[in-house]
Structure 1
Amino acid sequence: MKKSIFKIALLNFCILVLAACSSDKDSTDEVIVDPPTQSDPLTTQNVLTYMVDASATKETQALFYNLKRLGETKTAIGQQDAFNSFYQDAGGYSDIKKNTGFDPAVLGSDFMFITDKNNNEQLNNWFYQQELKIVSDVKAAYAKGIINTFSWHLREPYKEDSFYTADMTADQKSTAFRSILPGGANNEWYKKKLDKVASVISNLKGSNGELIPIIFRPFHEFDGSWFWWGANFCTAEEYKKAYQFTVDYLKNTKGVHNILYAYSPDNSYSTVEDYLTRYPGDKYVDVLGMDNYGDLNSGNDGYNRANAKLKMLSIAAKTRVKIAALTETGYQVTATTPPINNWFSTNLYNVLHDNRTFDLQFNTISYVMFWNNTKDGYYVPNGTVSNASDFKTFAEKSKSALLNSLPKMYEMPK
């Protein structure tokens, strides 16, 4: 016991002082979903013990288990709105598939348009059309074996025009988040938004009528001040209360049991203690995530910081038997911002997988998701741009996983 305590203490100390990146040493790794020697207490039989929802569907249980195990050997690669957001508006396959020949392993979606005040659920309504498209994409992704994750850029409760604080008055910024808490002036408004979310998730079904599991990360990037749920506009306790209310309402009041819940700040935290400042508790979180663009856009020192933060995240997830994920990242290339040489195949890959300073593998990031491409810029290169081969090399490395090397995520291993 003392030896274990000393080892954990040493590991935490190393995170603060060591973050050198190494090259990819392993070229024969295989996806091992249920290794014979497990480094944590999770088994196929006790998986519900470590999940938020004790009534989770069997497919949702399998997703939790398989994501946790996947992170021990590989990181699944995905993109926000991959089926609809293309560089230079080139339609067809996702830009990931155009480049590599394979579908992404993760598809990111958003409840933003689904819960928009202008969505009247009529077929001629643009917002409802977006809802139908998103639902169709999620079902198609699930049918292929892709992992589905949802963010929610929820517009503020007063005019519902924006989720950015830059578009809000000082009074709106200071009261919006508190107003959606139980007893607040906009709590009923918030419950109606959750009713819509619950309705959509409860109707996501596969070909056999089974509910499709999703990862849901409400109130993401909360440590920044750009969203109205940011740290400048609510206390830690108020944030926890809103997150807990959201989970309890969906799980207990609405009876939705096909969700894994993600805690997903931006990149301001570098210690476990700081990271958990607004943590709502193990009973409310399945995925410990982090969004990180800034560190990965600022040179070698930034890569080292990002690597250290993922080590911190991996240790926190290991301790709590949770999934660790880089829930958003990317470097956007535009007409005025050129690519960085080997950004994917060397820089990002080493950020995700460098463990050379440890005698145990602690970088266990189960998935990484890039933001969406646009007509004028891209986070993931298609096959026609100058850094296309860099991404393809990254995707083909031994610890990367597109759909072709993903195990069956919705089936528990025998």
Structure 2
Amino acid sequence: MKKIILWSVLASFFILSCSKDDTDLEETLVEISVSATINTATEGSDNGQFTFTLSSTLNAATLINYEISGSATNGTDYQNLPNTITIPPNTSSQSINIITLEDGITEGNETVTVILISPNNTTAILGASNSATVTISESPEDFVLLPQEASAYMVNPNATSETIALFYNLKELSKTKFIVGQQDAFNSFYNDNDGISDIKKTTGSDPGLLGSDFMFITDDSNDGASSNWFYQQEQIIMSDAVEAYNKGMVNMFTWHMREPFAGEHFYTSQMTQFQKDNALMSILPGGENHDYYKLKLQKVAEVAQNMFGDDGTLTPFIFRPFHEFDGDWFWWGAAYCTPQKYRTLWQFTVDYLKGTLGVNNMLFAYSPDNNFLNDADYLSRYPGDAYVDILGMDNYGDFNNQGQMALENANEKLQILSHLSKEKVKIAALTESCFFVTPGQNMPIEGFYANNLYDALSNNEVEIGFMMFWSNKVDTYCTPTPELESTPDFLEFINKPRTVLENDLPDMYSLPL
């Protein structure tokens, strides 16, 4: 009898152990994916990159087998690649570079594709994103972007025709001109003198770009009721964007998203230490506020998919989330997250908007502040060519009456953006800037617009598609209204050869035939 009881206990233990092991196995299975984190390269100079990623880390090394295909030849057009890569233990990703070689033959664009085959780790399986492609082009000097090829260099190749045209035309225009824009130009005025935009009061033309913000639109207090102040702001902002599109202007939306725990602030100076340390982590996949974040993105998508112009088409716009991420004043700043966590957030945001929600009228702008000195600094948190259309920079500090060296620094940083945009077939831009003038306190800088700013935007073959002034306020301006001390300087800036306002814009929403 004792033997029977003992065997029963052992059998039960064995069954329970097996059941537990099976459950653990299911819980620990991770997906392997591959992406082209730098999806364009240039023959003999700029390299591409593939990144292999696990959905969560494993305690053991993971050997991944992959096939190589594409029109480029392994070992001839780029340095020889093996057919395996190992992700070390407790590491979520590993990258390989496509180091291009100059073969002296004109071949046009060529491709390198990797296709996942199998991992050696039984707790890892292949995910849906099991292939990726890098395009190798001829040298930038020889490269000409053709209208019919524009979509291939965009984040969303399935974008609306108007959005594709916007990308192409911004790229073409940047070779000789740049659009001058302003944040909230239709609704924020110096001295509260409402009506037409302050730039139009001074120049006779609206700015060529209108800046808007999703901040009020995605606020927790926006309940969608017609009497709700935040909903009313949503309707005003959407109406302004459609008006700008109907006028042929370009739209850009920034997002000062409030932190997700209390939903009150975006500046870290107004947040608790817990909020600062955990806000970004909490909205990543698996985080406690991830579903909350998806609801906010659904609101962004709802707005994007309901702004129709007079021509019946959706209004294209540039989306610029999580900007100035190299500082510590926003909760998504470098002080509060690793480069990989920032990249993960950006990539999820783009994939969810583009893929899950089907938003096809956005271009995506990556814009740190001015805290970089070289390519590596600028790209330190770059999510990859497949996730960025516009290489931007916000820069107030270098223009804040800091002397000639600071102005030269501004130009050097714009040169970095300019040459990277050529290499990657993107658009460079000064996404936010100005010198704030508060009469009686902070006086204008002589020659700020026509000399300081224009030279930084133009010298040394800088090519940018647009620059945007921040908004005017009741007692402070970024762009002068008529009869102010700095108005003649601003008018001289506007009349320079490269600057473009709304009245001189080409058709930005049609591809040339």
TM-score by length of 2: 0.72
CA distance in 2, matches of 1:127, 1:5: 50
Q: Secondary structure at the match of 2:443?
A: coil
* Partner residue of 1:342 out of 440, 443, 447: 447
* Partner residue of 2:147 out of 39, 44, 57: 44
Does the CA contact (< 8 Å) of 1:82 and 1:372 recur in 2?
A: yes
**What is the correspondence of 1:76-91 to structure 2 with a 5 Å cutoff?**
76-91=179-194
Look up the equivalent residue of 1:388 and give its one-letter code. Answer: T
CA distance in 2, matches of 1:101, 1:116: 35
Q: Secondary structure at the match of 1:365?
A: coil
**What is the correspondence of 1:4-403 to structure 2 with a 5 Å cutoff?**
40-297=143-400, 298-335=402-439, 336-355=441-460, 361=461, 363-403=462-502
CA distance in 2, matches of 1:97, 1:235: 43
Aligned to 2:511: 412
CA displacement 1:122-142 (0-9 Å, x = unmatched): 111111111000000000000
CA distance in 2, matches of 1:342, 1:97: 21
CA displacement 1:333-366 (0-9 Å, x = unmatched): 00300000110001100000012xxxxx3x1111
Structure of larger gyration radius: 2
Deviation at 1:254, TM superposition (A): 0.3
Runs of 4+ deviating beyond 6 Å: none
Aligned to 1:31: none
Does the CA contact (< 8 Å) of 1:77 and 1:106 recur in 2?
A: yes
CA distance in 2, matches of 1:332, 1:413: 39
Deviation at 1:300, TM superposition (A): 1.2
Deviation at 1:261, TM superposition (A): 0.2
CA displacement 1:141-172 (0-9 Å, x = unmatched): 00000000000000000111100111111111
Aligned to 1:10: none
CA displacement 1:245-281 (0-9 Å, x = unmatched): 0000000000000000000100001201110000000
Does the CA contact (< 8 Å) of 1:109 and 1:149 recur in 2?
A: yes
Deviation at 1:403, TM superposition (A): 1.1
Root mean square deviation, CA, Å: 1.6
Moved more, 398-407 or 319-328: 398-407
TM-score by length of 1: 0.89
CA distance in 2, matches of 1:212, 1:321: 23
Q: Secondary structure at the match of 1:139?
A: helix
User: Unpaired runs of 5+ in structure 1?
Assistant: 7-36, 356-360
CA distance in 1, matches of 2:419, 2:403: 25
CA distance in 1, matches of 2:339, 2:470: 27
User: Unpaired runs of 5+ in structure 2?
Assistant: 1-41, 47-139
In terms of fraction of residues, the more strand-rich structure is 2
CA distance in 1, matches of 2:327, 2:471: 21
CA distance in 1, matches of 2:143, 2:226: 49
Deviation at 1:384, TM superposition (A): 2.5
CA distance in 2, matches of 1:328, 1:158: 28
Give the direction of change, closer, same or farther, for the CA distance of 1:133–1:39 in structure 2 (3 Å limit): farther
Deviation at 1:48, TM superposition (A): 1.0
Give the direction of change, closer, same or farther, for the CA distance of 1:341–1:4 in structure 2 (3 Å limit): farther
CA displacement 1:194-227 (0-9 Å, x = unmatched): 0000000011111232111000011000001000
Look up the equivalent residue of 1:320 and give its one-letter code. Answer: K
Instruction: Determine which structure has greater relative contact order: mean sequence separation of CA pairs < 8 Å that are 6+ residues apart, divided by chain length.
Output: 1
CA distance in 1, matches of 2:366, 2:142: 23
Give the direction of change, closer, same or farther, for the CA distance of 1:371–1:190 in structure 2 (3 Å limit): same
In terms of fraction of residues, the more helix-rich structure is 1
Give the direction of change, closer, same or farther, for the CA distance of 1:191–1:251 in structure 2 (3 Å limit): same
Give the direction of change, closer, same or farther, for the CA distance of 1:396–1:122 in structure 2 (3 Å limit): same
Does the CA contact (< 8 Å) of 1:40 and 1:321 recur in 2?
A: no
Q: Secondary structure at the match of 1:270?
A: coil
Question: Percent identical across equivalent pairs?
Answer: 54
CA distance in 2, matches of 1:149, 1:41: 26
